Amino acid sequence: MNARLNHRLLLHAYANGYFPMPDPDTGEPLWYRPDPRAILPLDSFHTSRSLEKTIKRGKFRTTINKDFSGVIHGCAARPETWINEEFIAAYCDLHAKGHAHSVEVWLGDELAGGLYGVSIGGAFFAESKFHRITDASKVALHYLVQHMVTRGMSLLEVQFVTPHLARLGVVTVPEKKYESLLQKALVQKTSFTD
């Protein structure tokens, strides 16, 4: 694919197992379909003791879709980022059309961290997360998993595995297995929000 980002192209890509990242030199969207693919089985999220304590203390407040722009800009605000202005505009448009969502983690009135991604049927394709306060992005992921379980969703895709994500329960599956999970999730009669 060689096209600028728009909501129809993005939805078509995710539904067919692709996701975009910009070329580091030109900024042009490149399309990826890694094999193996990283997923977080919803029944395998690992909550460490310290994270359990943080959640039980009620230090943070979590919301959904209250500040999508703040979350995507928070994810982009790092020395090296692939989230350029075209990506921000495209995902904000996708959010306005009801397919991109954010989980926000607040400390008082301050946005402490969060994550965003795209949902279709019973699938959520996590794009990026960030934190300004320790554990805020892990709290966002914990809340995302709980929310997806409550909504009856089945597939949480996270693109690539990292040592950090592996400690949280992320595993890789071969392309054929991912394709099977994806097709089942896409036809589920559920959604991320009403």
Length reported for the chain: 194
Tell the CATH topology of 36-186: Aminopeptidase (3.40.630)
| 112: CB partners within 8 A, 6+ apart | 60, 105, 106, 131, 132, 133, 136
Strands, E assignment, the chain: 19-22, 29-32, 37-39, 61-64, 100-107, 110-120, 123-131, 155-159, 171-173
- Residues 113-140 have pLDDT tens digits of 999 999 999 999 999 999 999 999 999 9
- Grade residue 3 by pLDDT with cuts at 50, 70 and 90: low
**pTM of the entire predicted model:** 0.95
Cα–Cα dist 159/190, whole Å: 22
Q: Helix crossing, 85-96 with 68-76: angle to 10°? A: 160
Residues 166 and 160: their CA atoms lie apart, in Å, by 10
Instruction: Report the C-alpha gap between 113 and 11 in whole angstroms.
Output: 26
Reduced DSSP (H G I as helix, E B as strand, rest coil) percent helix, strand, coil of the chain, to 5: 35, 25, 35
Which residue ranges make up each domain of the chain? 36-186
For the record, the structure tokens of 69 come out as: 């722009």
174-193 confidence digits (pLDDT tens): 999 999 999 999 999 999 99
Phi, psi (deg, nearest 5) at residue 166: -60, -40
Closest by CA to 27, choosing from 10, 11, 4, 43, is: 4
d(CA 137, CA 149): 19
Please, are residues 124 and 151 in contact by the beta-carbon 8 Å criterion? no
**Per-residue model confidence as pLDDT tens digits over 55-77:** 999 999 999 999 999 999 999 99
